[in-house]
Amino acid sequence: MSSINMVGPSGQLYGEVVPGQDETQFQQDNTSSEYYNSPYFTNHKNQVQSIPPPQPGVPLQILLKDFVAPEIMAAITSANQIVFHSVGDTGAAKVSKNQTAATAIAQQASVADAIAAEVQSGGANPPAFFFHLGDVVYNFGEGKYYYDQFFEPYRGYDRPIFAIAGNHDGMVFGNTPDVPQTPSLLAFLRNFCAASPRVSQDAGGLVRSVMTQPGVYFTLDTPFVSIIGLYSNVLDGPGVISSQGGHYPISDDQLTFLESELTRLKPARKAGKQGIILALHHPPLSVDGDHSGSTGPSADIDNICTKIGLWPDIVLSGHAHLYQRFTRRVGSQQIPYIVSGSGGFAATAPQTKAPPAPFTIGDQTLEVDPIIQFGYLNIVASATQIKVVFRCPTVYGVQENDSVTLDLKSGTISQGASTSTASTTLVTKKPSATKKKPSTKARKKTSKSG
Ligand SMILES: [Fe+2]
């Protein structure tokens, strides 16, 4: 285990040198579920919010090499593959009156500590970053909860965390019917889309630098894979990425962006140099009764992919608080659509019972029965394949509960459920001098899902 933490090329800091013990109480009493009854939210809960424009004059593409130390990039080159993490819906917030804060915190911490341990014990080419699939902070993305739900849980994760925003990150409330108390995505933009990598005002003294993503939609270019991230807005359902022909009062800028990105990436993809992952918080396909698939984004994406003649190799989403894996067939291409909203908030079973997997409707096959466990995706990408493994922390260690490998040349998958226990060594945490004392106030309110 390294005792020296990474410093990014622009001076970015990520993990604490001594992460300390997990919290057992929240520093801030989370009372935001009461905002579900606020005049602004009740009046506007079925409406989308406008999409914040990207930072002016900044490219919509960011390069991994600008966020990690040169030796990390050298290790990726040397290994001929990149390893990274992805999952959504991580925020620790109580989901019922009966759940203790300690339970909520422990559920998020089980995943957060496992991915931090993989970085520490990952050998010559450990995971290079975490791509968060949205719903970072419940229930309204408030800055004051970023410590308890983001900075503190990931204080031991010594790598950059990129993020697309989920509905909870953009949802707004207020005591007047027409004006929200704070603009949509205010704290998300402050912490993920800053102009420079400074200390966050929301970090409570922890060192993790704010991220400098260009906006809520962007592409992360890494060796072997590019990840196109889209913002699917604030509704519990459905996801919305465009006006859908004037149906929603938002811009179509994300469609223009997606089209230009697929056009940009097509030569490298066709040359067998680069895979393409598309990430959006709301899943285009889902069997979860609470969080079903979103046909609007699915049609938007299909229209553009058809026009350009290029589909993403894999589609990643969160929002539904479980793990689901579909295969979508487009011609001879098999595209994994993976839902992993299993990062710590309220693992939730499907409300409607789906037929046993595998079952097929049209061009979509649900390959495995939904897995209702907290867990995360470990993704390994090379020039020839992308392997996605769903790993679940258990008291016996980290268990691999599903995997799929996509051959980038043929566009076909091989897959297999797995029950092996990975040999990940969990990091031993010691008290950190940088952490504030947690609040002694107990949390009183319940929160909603999503
Ligand atoms: Fe969500």
Report CA(50)–ligand 1 centroid distance (Å): 17
How far from the centroid of its chain's Cα atoms is residue 50's Cα? 21
- CA trace torsion 301, 306, 312, 315 (10° rounding): 30
Residue 204: which region, alpha, beta or left (left: phi > 0; alpha: psi -120 to 50)?
Answer: left
**pLDDT tens over the chain, length 450 residues:** 445 799 999 999 999 999 989 888 999 988 888 999 999 999 999 999 999 999 999 999 999 999 999 999 999 999 999 999 999 999 888 777 778 888 989 999 999 999 999 999 989 999 999 999 999 999 999 999 999 999 999 999 999 999 999 999 999 999 999 999 999 999 999 999 999 999 999 999 999 999 999 999 999 999 999 999 999 999 998 999 999 999 999 999 999 999 999 999 999 999 999 999 999 999 988 776 566 677 899 999 999 999 999 999 999 999 999 999 999 999 999 999 999 999 998 877 766 667 889 988 889 999 999 999 999 999 999 999 999 999 999 999 999 999 999 999 999 999 975 445 443 333 333 333 334 333 333 222 333 346
Report CA(154)–ligand 1 centroid distance (Å): 20
Strands 376-381, 385-394: parallel, antiparallel or unpaired by DSSP? Answer: antiparallel
SS (H, E, C) 338-382: EEECCCCCCCCCCCCCCCCCCEEECCEEECCCCECCCCEEEEEEC
Residues 130 and 85 sit within 8 Å (Cβ to Cβ): yes
Report CA(6)–ligand 1 centroid distance (Å): 31
Report CA(434)–ligand 1 centroid distance (Å): 31
Report CA(30)–ligand 1 centroid distance (Å): 18
Report CA(225)–ligand 1 centroid distance (Å): 25
| 181: amino acid identity, one letter | Q
Residue the block writes with tokens 């993920």: 192
Report CA(262)–ligand 1 centroid distance (Å): 26
Alpha-carbon distance of 93 to 148, in angstroms, equals 9
Please list, in sequence order, all residues whose beta carbon lies within 8 angstroms of the beta carbon of residue 56, skipping any fewer than 6 positions away: none
pTM of the prediction? 0.92
Q: What are phi and psi of 446, to 5 degrees?
A: -85, 165
Report CA(323)–ligand 1 centroid distance (Å): 14
pLDDT value for 289: 54
Report CA(48)–ligand 1 centroid distance (Å): 14
Residue the block writes with tokens 């990408």: 381
Q: Tell me, what DSSP letter sits at residue 292?
A: B
SS3 71: helix
Alpha-carbon distance of 125 to 323, in angstroms, equals 26
How far from the centroid of its chain's Cα atoms is residue 182's Cα? 23
pLDDT value for 417: 55
- CA trace torsion 255, 245, 183, 141 (10° rounding): -70
SS3 186: helix
Report CA(410)–ligand 1 centroid distance (Å): 33
Report CA(444)–ligand 1 centroid distance (Å): 22
pLDDT value for 445: 30
Largest CA distance in the chain: 58
